[in-house]
Amino acid sequence: MADVLDLQHFKDTGEIKSLDQIDSEKSEMPDLEEIATVMIMSSDELFVELLARVEYSESLRKDISTSTLIQELTNRALHMELLCEVATQLGE
């Protein structure tokens, strides 16, 4: 059976995709509750959770995906780097 194409998506982006492809891409995005949970965790909690998953294949918080953990840690590292750069420029 032929795939049903999303013409609105094609009109908006110029990419031809089926409705199933678009739905699967949307389901890969973390939901707001997952993002909120990660944002209220301390950096130490994020590191411990990631370490537990990598070293011991265990998870203390099964409701959070590894990609969301990594994304939050990356965001925090980038913000810390920017803050250090600005602080260095202020000291000159």
Question: Number of folded domains in the chain?
Answer: 2
Instruction: Indicate if 57 and 79 belong to the same structural domain.
Output: yes
Share of the chain above pLDDT 70, in %: 79
- Domain extent for 15: 1-28
SS3 per residue for 58-83:
CCCCCCCCHHHHHHHHHHHHHHHHHH
Query: In whole angstroms, what separates CA 62 from the centre of its chain?
Result: 15
Instruction: Indicate if 37 and 62 belong to the same structural domain.
Output: yes
Instruction: Indicate if 80 and 53 belong to the same structural domain.
Output: yes
- Residue 67 is encoded by which pair of tokens? 């990609």
Instruction: Indicate if 55 and 84 belong to the same structural domain.
Output: yes
Q: pTM of the prediction?
A: 0.64
Instruction: Indicate if 19 and 37 belong to the same structural domain.
Output: no
pLDDT tens per residue across span 2-24: 666 666 766 777 777 776 776 66
